[in-house]
Structure 1
């Protein structure tokens, strides 16, 4: 199989780089300065083993590849706010032997949140969800860092909306050869919703600049997460418990300091650091807000973080521009 990584940022670049290192055929899809750097100097993947440089084909869209191959696997790794555009671009792409990518090729959504696979299922017949447990960073064009060891990440994989098949097992087998654990599960959404609760802290980290190690931020995150869990319970949405997640992860993905790589933050923090102009809060905190409105559960803390994260991205504010104590004050105000 050939893997086409649509969005070669932190997650996509790490998955693509590791697959290529393991001998798989990989094409990276990128744009702007990142695409230029990838073409000029290759993908520089910084991992605990050192810096790996992979010189891989880089394209901006399907037209540069011509007719897609019947054994292509599309890996959607853009931020969710960019999914609709990517799906609209790649879905109609022709495939050898007839038909389109949407009709014939598997699409793997390796993203935070749960919305992209629902968007994809409107266009693609074969949609796979991934619960992405993959600490990685992309703030410099051409460079991606992944500090996990001994495994780079854990990627639960399954059909959307449910089930498994031979394609999922083949993809998982390739990932297992590339420094990942890739359990194939019938209920991948249960793991994704558990990850969603963890990702509710992304906006908090982005606007304050930190989360772990700051008791005030950690206490606020506990309130934000509890609000999210209450919403999922009201909606009748199953999610893996923290204990179950810890049991699966164990010490398989331990973060190792990387030479020359400063300590950064999660995906939302990285979006602000790059000055991307957009952020994924609408599909993380905003998912909880949406479900809360549908099921009559107030979500003032997640609404606050969604609004602030979008404001920071729109105005291109630097991560950490809001003191934690000010965010706590705002949270106390909105939650009464």
Structure 2
């Protein structure tokens, strides 16, 4: 079985590297300077234990496919449709992404869709380089068939992930875990806008409290922080890496790279959407969604807003 990782950034690059180290055939799909670096020099994976350059085949678009290919989609949610458009719809797709809308979107065109709940603290700020801060494993990945269940392929993917540097779990209720992860990701926009200064935790918790009310009203099940910590245990502790300054999460990195887009529509925006569908006000998440997009379009760096400014917008 060959894994084609579409979006070989922080998450995709780490997953592809670990699968390659586990003896599996992998192709990394990337764009621009990152693709050029991968093609020329290979992927440099830096962890708390080591720094290794891996010679993994790379492409900047679709490659000739095989019957045993699995597409691992690790792009941001706003890029899902464009990223999958050139690929044959008879291949299975694993959505290794934040948010909960990708699987439903992909299912419109692809019959075999798998959700993946990703706990993987990594960053990608330099072409050809991914730093994975998890220890002793780089990440924990729950995999299940969408919308529910575990089949033979889900179990095999989980087993393959667990062969080197990752914890893979085949999970029938993967979307419950992804909704729990969504609650955590609502703080991504706060971190991107404010950095890690005073007031960040308070605003993030207000966004999560608002979201829990929305999910409860909608009757949507979600995993709890306690469940996540129990599953993760000491498998994925965040450790420093010599010579690498750890920045923020995925949204923080989007602003740091000046990418021009951010995932807030599919994180905070998911709660706004559900709130509108079920008649629950969501002012905190709406302000976070809106302001994160403004920062991305304006190519403002992370931490460009103060907590007082953000709170004033929420209260207004």
* TM-score, structure 1 as length reference: 0.92
- What displacement does 1:52 show? 1.3
1:102 matched to 2:98: no
Q: 1:88 aligns with which of 64, 74, 85?
A: 85
Contact 1:281 1:310 in 2 (8 A): yes
1:277 matched to 2:264: no
2:100 aligns with 114
- Structure 2: tracts of 5 or more residues without a match: none
- What displacement does 1:177 show? 0.4
1:170 matched to 2:156: yes
Contact 2:92 2:112 in 1 (8 A): yes
1:59 aligns with 59
Which stretch has the larger CA shift, 71-80 or 244-253?
Answer: 244-253
In 1: Cα distance, 2:74 partner to 2:241 partner: 23
CA offsets, 1:37-68, max 9 Å, x none? 11111111111121111111111122xx22x1
1:48 matched to 2:48: yes
2:22 aligns with 22
In 2: Cα distance, 1:53 partner to 1:38 partner: 10
1:322 aligns with 305
1:98 aligns with none
In 2: Cα distance, 1:312 partner to 1:121 partner: 31
Q: 1:159 aligns with which of 125, 132, 145?
A: 145
CA offsets, 1:161-201, max 9 Å, x none? 11110001111111010221111111100000000000000
CA offsets, 1:90-118, max 9 Å, x none? 1xxxxxxxxxx312x21100000011111
Instruction: Map 1:173-212 onto structure 2 (within 5 A).
Output: 173-210=159-196
1:95 aligns with none
2:75 aligns with 78
CA offsets, 1:11-56, max 9 Å, x none? 0000001111111111000011111111111111111121111111
- What displacement does 1:329 show? 2.7
CA offsets, 1:191-230, max 9 Å, x none? 00000000000000001112xxx55211111111100111
1:236 matched to 2:223: no
In 2: Cα distance, 1:183 partner to 1:26 partner: 20
CA offsets, 1:300-324, max 9 Å, x none? 0000000000001101001111012
